C-alpha cells in the first residue's frame, strides 16, 4: 500500500502534461515538497 | 589586486586548511575513500548535495528555465523525486551491504555478484562517462577565472586542477566532504541572495503564458522522458553519489542524509529555476536583454549585478564545479586502484591516482575537443547500463559474470551508437536494451 502511494507521487509529477495547468510550476514544487515531508515523517516506519 | 583573485585565494586557503585538518587519522583506504564509514548525517547530506549539484544548476538550468519555461523545473524536480524514491528504499540497504561486505569502491558491489572482470569493465565505463563530464566542470572554472580575473585559459585550467585535486589529495573523502559541506551552504546562501536581488531588480515575478505550461515546443512528453530517465536513476548509476551511501556512520545518519539532501535539493532547484523564470519575466518587461543562447543567460546576469553579489555568485559556480569534480575524481580513483589495479591496502596509491586522473581531466579540458560536450551530456545515459546489475543484486538471484559483461557492453554500445545517430530515444533504448540483455542472460546463466 505504501509502495503504491510512493509510485503515485512519481506519477503525479507527470500529470501537468495532460492538464496544461497555468500553475504547473507551483504544483510540481508542492508535490515534491509533500513527498519529501512524507519521507521525513513516515517513510522509515515501513522498513 | 583584482577582488575576484583575492576571493579565490581566500577560498583556496580555507579549503586547504579544512582538508589538512581532515587528513588526521587517515590510515586505511576505507578512511581515505569513504571517511572510515564515520560521517554524520548533516555532513553526508551536504556532500551528497554538493556532489550532485554541479555548475550545471547555476548556468545550465537557469538558462534552460529562461528559454524553455517550467518544464525545466519539472525535469529537475522529477530527478529529485526519483532520487528520493530510490534513496528512501535503497540507501539503508546499500549502506548495510557496504558495511557487511566491506565495500569501498562502488564497483565492488559488482565484484561479489558478477565477478572481478565486470567490476573492471564498470570502472572503464565510469572513466569514459565521467572524465569528459569532469573536464567540462574544469573548463567552466577556467572560463570564470578568465572572465572575472583576466587569467589565461591554460592557467585557469591549471588553477582549477589544483583546486580540484588538492583537497581530495590531502584529506580524502573527509577533506572533500567537509569542504563540500561549507561550499554547499555557500552555494545555497548565494542563490538566495541572487534571487532576492533579481526579484527586487525586476520588480516582481510572473511566468509568461507560453512558458507556464507543459507540453510546449521544447518540453514534449518524449523529450521529458528521454532527458528524465537517466537522471531519475542517477542515485544508483553514478558512482560518485552511490559511494556516498557507504559513508554515514549509522542507519540514523543515512536516513537523515536522505531527508536533508532532499530539502537542500528542493530549495536549490526552486531558487535556480525561479531565477531563470524571473529573468525571462525581466526580458518581457524590458529590464533584461533577450538572450538567444541559453548558456549566456547567467553570464549576462553576472555582468548586470553589482560586485557584492556578482563575485560571490561567480565563486559559487566555481564551488559547484569543484565539489562535483573532486568527488568524481576521488571515486574514480577508488575504482581504478581497487577494481582495476587490485591494490586494496596502501593509501598512497589512491593519492597517486587522484593526481593522474586530474592530469588526464586537465588534458581533456585543454584540448577542448568537440566530442567532450557530447560525451559529458551522455554520461548519465552511458552509466544507465549498470542499473539492471545494481537492482539485480537486491532483487534477482540469477546472473553472474557473463550477465554482467553482456549487460554493460550492450547497454554501452546502444548508448554510443544511438547518440552518434542523434536518435531522440537514446536513453529509453539504453534502458530497455540493458534490462532485456540482463534478463535474457541471467535466465541462461542460472
* Cα B209 from Cα A1, distance rounded (Å): 38
Between helix B153-202 and helix B41-52 the angle, nearest 10°, is: 100
ipTM above 0.90, yes or no: yes
Digit-by-digit pLDDT tens for chain B (446 residues) are 589 999 999 999 999 999 999 998 899 999 999 999 999 999 999 999 999 999 999 999 999 999 999 999 999 999 999 999 999 999 999 999 999 999 999 999 999 899 999 999 999 999 999 998 999 999 999 999 998 889 999 999 999 999 999 999 999 999 999 999 999 999 999 999 999 999 999 999 999 888 999 999 999 999 999 989 999 999 999 999 999 999 999 999 999 999 999 999 999 999 999 999 999 999 999 999 999 999 899 999 999 999 999 999 999 999 999 999 999 999 999 999 999 999 998 899 999 999 999 999 999 999 876 666 667 778 999 999 999 999 999 999 999 999 999 999 999 999 999 988 988 899 999 999 999 999 999 999 98
Residue B46: which of B250, B265, B313, B193 has the closest Cα?
B265
- Asked if A26 reaches chain B (Cβ–Cβ under 8 Å), the answer is no
Cβ atoms within 10 Å, residue A5: 13
List chain A residues with CB under 8 Å of B85.
6, 9-10
CA pair distance B381, A27, nearest whole angstrom: 28
Q: Which of B84, B213, B221 sits opposite A36 (nearest CB)?
A: B84
Task: Measure the CA–CA gap between B226 and B344, rounded to whole angstroms.
Answer: 38
Q: Given an 8 Å threshold on Cβ–Cβ distance, is A24 in contact with B70?
A: yes
With DSSP H G I counted as helix, E B as strand and the rest as coil, what are the percentages for chain A, rounded to 5? 80, 0, 20
Half-sphere exposure of B50 (CA within 13 A, CB side): 30
Distance CA B371, CA B142 (A): 19
Dist. CA B69–CA B280, nearest whole Å: 9
Cell of B97: 551491504
Give the integer Cα–Cα distance in Å for B437 and B419: 19
A32–B77 C-beta distance less than 8 A: yes
Contact A39 B259 (CB under 8 A): yes
For residue B353, give the nearest of B152, B165, B226 by alpha carbon.
B165
Measure the CA–CA gap between A9 and B427, rounded to whole angstroms.
22
Residues of A in contact with B81 (CB under 8 A): 9-10, 13, 31-32, 35
Amino acid at each position: 500500500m505504501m509502495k503504491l502511494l510512493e509510485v503515485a507521487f512519481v506519477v503525479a509529477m507527470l500529470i501537468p502534461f495532460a492538464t496544461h495547468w497555468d500553475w504547473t510550476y507551483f504544483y510540481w514544487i508542492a508535490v515534491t515538497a509533500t513527498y519529501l515531508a512524507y519521507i521525513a515523517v513516515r517513510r522509515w516506519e515501513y522498513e | 589586486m583584482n577582488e575576484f583573485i583575492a576571493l579565490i585565494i581566500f577560498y583556496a586557503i580555507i579549503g586547504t586548511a579544512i582538508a589538512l585538518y581532515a587528513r588526521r587519522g587517515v590510515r586505511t583506504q576505507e578512511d581515505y575513500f569513504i571517511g572510515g564509514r564515520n560521517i554524520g548525517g548533516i555532513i553526508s547530506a551536504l556532500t551528497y548535495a554538493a556532489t550532485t549539484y554541479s555548475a550545471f544548476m547555476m548556468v545550465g538550468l537557469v538558462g534552460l528555465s529562461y528559454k524553455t519555461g517550467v518544464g525545466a523545473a519539472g525535469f529537475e524536480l522529477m530527478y529529485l523525486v526519483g532520487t528520493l524514491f530510490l534513496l528512501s528504499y535503497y540507501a539503508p540497504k546499500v549502506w548495510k551491504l557496504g558495511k557487511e561486505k566491506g565495500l569501498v569502491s562502488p564497483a565492488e558491489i559488482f565484484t561479489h555478484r558478477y565477478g572481478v572482470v565486470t567490476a573492471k569493465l564498470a570502472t572503464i565505463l565510469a572513466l569514459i562517462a565521467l572524465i569528459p563530464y569532469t573536464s567540462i566542470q574544469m573548463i567552466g572554472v577556467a572560463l570564470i577565472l578568465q572572465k572575472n580575473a583576466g587569467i589565461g585559459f591554460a592557467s585557469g585550467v591549471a588553477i582549477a586542477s589544483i583546486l580540484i585535486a588538492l583537497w581530495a589529495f590531502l584529506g580524502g573523502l573527509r577533506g572533500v566532504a567537509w569542504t563540500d559541506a561549507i561550499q554547499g551552504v555557500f552555494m545555497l546562501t548565494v542563490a538566495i541572495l541572487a534571487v532576492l536581488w533579481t526579484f527586487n531588480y525586476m520588480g516582481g515575478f510572473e511566468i509568461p503564458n507560453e512558458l507556464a505550461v507543459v507540453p510546449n515546443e521544447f518540453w514534449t512528453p518524449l523529450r521529458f522522458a528521454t532527458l528524465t530517465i537517466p537522471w531519475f536513476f542517477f542515485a544508483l548509476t553514478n558512482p560518485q553519489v552511490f559511494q556516498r551511501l557507504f559513508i554515514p556512520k549509522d542507519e540514523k545518519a543515512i536516513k537523515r542524509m536522505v531527508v536533508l539532501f532532499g530539502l537542500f535539493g528542493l530549495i536549490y532547484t526552486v531558487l535556480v529555476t525561479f531565477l531563470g523564470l524571473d529573468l525571462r519575466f525581466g526580458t518581457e518587461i524590458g529590464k533584461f536583454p533577450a538572450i538567444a543562447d541559453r548558456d549566456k543567460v547567467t553570464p549576462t546576469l553576472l555582468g548586470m549585478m553589482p560586485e557584492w553579489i556578482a563575485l560571490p555568485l561567480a565563486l559559487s559556480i566555481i564551488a559547484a564545479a569543484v565539489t562535483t569534480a573532486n568527488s568524481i575524481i576521488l571515486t574514480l580513483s577508488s575504482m581504478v586502484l581497487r577494481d582495476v589495479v587490485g591494490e586494496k591496502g596502501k593509501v598512497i596509491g589512491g593519492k597517486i591516482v587522484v593526481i593522474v586522473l586530474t592530469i588526464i581531466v586537465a588534458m581533456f579540458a585543454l584540448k577542448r575537443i568537440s566530442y567532450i560536450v557530447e560525451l559529458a551530456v551522455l554520461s548519465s545515459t552511458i552509466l544507465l547500463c549498470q542499473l539492471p546489475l545494481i537492482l539485480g543484486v537486491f532483487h534477482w538471484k540469477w546472473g553472474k559474470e557473463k550477465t554482467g559483461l553482456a549487460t554493460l557492453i550492450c547497454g554501452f554500445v546502444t548508448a554510443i551508437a544511438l547518440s552518434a545517430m542523434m536518435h531522440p530515444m537514446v536513453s529509453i533504448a539504453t534502458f530497455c536494451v540493458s534490462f532485456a540483455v540482463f534478463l535474457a542472460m541471467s535466465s541462461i546463466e542460472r
